[in-house]
């Protein structure tokens, strides 16, 4: 009879359970099961990591490596530590309140203040998208010789299509795949060059400011923490509505989210370090200072071969495309927040925010003659807006009225204000 094997299996399992209860099996492997459970929450941190390895960071990293070798690797370590604290705090807001940063500011900051703040954030998201779309366009130009405007149009259309036709989960999968490919690309690049691993490891953790390097140090630090990522992280997390599932669920999610953020930020740190080490080994060792991404590829071709130059361009394209998607998502979240609404790719307010961000960036690109200058000015615009976003975030997450018992502890608040002050000073000096 067909049911006989099934009945036999059930009887055998029951007998095993008598001598070795299943609860003992669970207890024995609880740590492993908990570790596997974390995999369900992996994703939001990767969307944020994309902004950490965008074309603006590529420019800063290639400049740092080609001019100062490994000596500025510590800047990436320091900026990553600051980024982990701020991004976790943004996610903290979403988990504890069920509101993203834009929604919370609309509800709690007052009508005039919140509208001015979010309007500046929309402009910052356009500036972000400008750098990302330009980066993707430069990648297409490197690989296929397409005109920058044609590449910008294609990459922006792809970003809009992805955002209009996919929710969070699908985009998270795409982004994880693209970030992984970028990481593999630089593993390939590092395999082609000779790395002084001892010197690189020392420079990663020992601060040293070479003569004349202050602008590059400030640029590398300022390119890491971006306002749209703080909005984006809180938005993605709040979509899961953990605040409705009880205090224990919130505590558990805070732990899992920190693991996700830590893992994703470490990956971003590794990719940024890889860019600097590659530039140091290829360019600095030959006293070649590089300030243009296209210049880097053309120099690499005769030194490392066509394959290396192709992989460099492909990685830049993947980085630009993926960061264009996340910039558009952040713009949609910010604009929806003006109406006290969460991000919803089918909602007209969200779609309007996506279009304003991506199309606005392409419109500005029409008036830019030099891509490098465009990316530079976009970073300056971000630097102007960033202090307002950080201050708003710290005020919201430190308020017991808003966060309840999950408000920041005094020590956390002090650390956040110190980081906010440091980043604000860095960006002001960089702008000057």
* CA pair distance 276, 266, nearest whole angstrom: 15
Q: What are phi and psi of 235, to 5 degrees?
A: -70, -50
Helix (H), strand (E) counts: the chain: 20, 0
Give the pLDDT score at 406: 92
Cβ(277)–Cβ(65) below 8 Å: yes
Q: Summarize pLDDT for 183-232 with one digit per residue, the tens.
A: 888 888 888 888 999 999 999 999 988 988 887 887 777 677 888 999 99
Q: Summarize pLDDT for 322-361 with one digit per residue, the tens.
A: 999 999 999 999 999 999 999 999 999 999 999 999 999 9
CA 209 to chain centre: 26
Domains annotated on the chain, with CATH: 55-431 (1.20.1740.10)
Which among 165, 166, 79 has a CA at the least distance from the CA of 430? 79
CA 79 to chain centre: 13
CB atoms within 10 A of CB 283: 23
On the CB side of 386, CA atoms within 13 Å amount to 30
The whole-number average pLDDT for the span 130-138 is 92
Least confident of 86-90, 164-168, 222-226: 222-226
pTM for the full predicted model: 0.84
% of the chain at pLDDT higher than 70: 87
């Amino acid at each position: 009879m067909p049911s006989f094997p099934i009945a036999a299996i059930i009887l055998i399992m029951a007998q095993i359970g008598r001598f070795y209860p299943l609860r003992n099996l669970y207890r024995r492997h609880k740590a492993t099961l908990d570790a596997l459970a974390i995999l369900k929450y992996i994703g939001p941190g990767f969307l944020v990591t994309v902004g950490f390895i965008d074309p603006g960071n590529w420019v800063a990293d290639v400049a740092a490596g080609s001019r100062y070798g490994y000596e500025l690797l510590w800047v990436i370590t320091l900026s990553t530590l600051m980024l982990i604290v701020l991004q976790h705090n943004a996610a903290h807001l979403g988990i504890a309140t069920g509101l993203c940063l834009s929604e919370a500011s609309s509800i709690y900051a007052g009508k005039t203040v919140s509208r001015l703040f979010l309007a500046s954030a929309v402009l910052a998201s356009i500036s972000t998208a400008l750098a990302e779309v330009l980066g993707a366009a430069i990648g297409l130009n490197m690989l296929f010789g397409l005109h920058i405007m044609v590449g910008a149009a294609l990459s922006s259309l792809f970003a809009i299509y992805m955002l209009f036709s996919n929710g969070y989960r699908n985009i998270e999968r795409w982004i994880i795949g693209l970030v992984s490919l970028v990481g593999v690309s630089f593993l390939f690049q590092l395999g082609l060059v000779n790395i002084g691993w001892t010197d690189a490891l020392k420079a990663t953790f020992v601060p040293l400011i070479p003569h004349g390097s202050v602008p590059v140090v400030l640029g590398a630090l300022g390119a890491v923490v971006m306002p749209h990522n703080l909005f984006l992280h809180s938005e993605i997390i709040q979509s899961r509505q953990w605040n409705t599932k009880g205090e224990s669920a919130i505590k558990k999610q805070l732990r899992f989210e920190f693991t996700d953020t830590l893992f994703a930020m470490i990956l971003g740190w590794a990719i940024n370090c890889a860019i600097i080490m590659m530039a140091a080994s290829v360019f600095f060792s030959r006293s070649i200072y590089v300030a243009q991404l296209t210049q880097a590829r053309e120099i690499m071709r005769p030194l490392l071969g066509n394959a290396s130059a192709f992989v460099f361009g492909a990685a830049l394209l993947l980085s630009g495309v993926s960061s264009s998607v996340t910039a558009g998502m952040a713009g949609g979240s910010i604009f929806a927040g003006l109406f006290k609404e969460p991000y919803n790719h089918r909602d007209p307010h969200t779609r309007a925010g996506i279009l304003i961000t991506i199309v606005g960036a392409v419109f500005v690109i029409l008036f830019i003659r030099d891509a490098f200058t465009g990316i530079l000015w976009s970073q300056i615009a971000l630097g102007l807006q960033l202090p307002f976003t950080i201050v708003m975030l710290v005020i919201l997450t430190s308020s017991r009225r808003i966060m309840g018992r999950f408000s920041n502890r005094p020590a956390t608040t002090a650390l956040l204000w110190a980081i906010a002050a440091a980043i604000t000073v860095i960006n002001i000096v960089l702008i000057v």
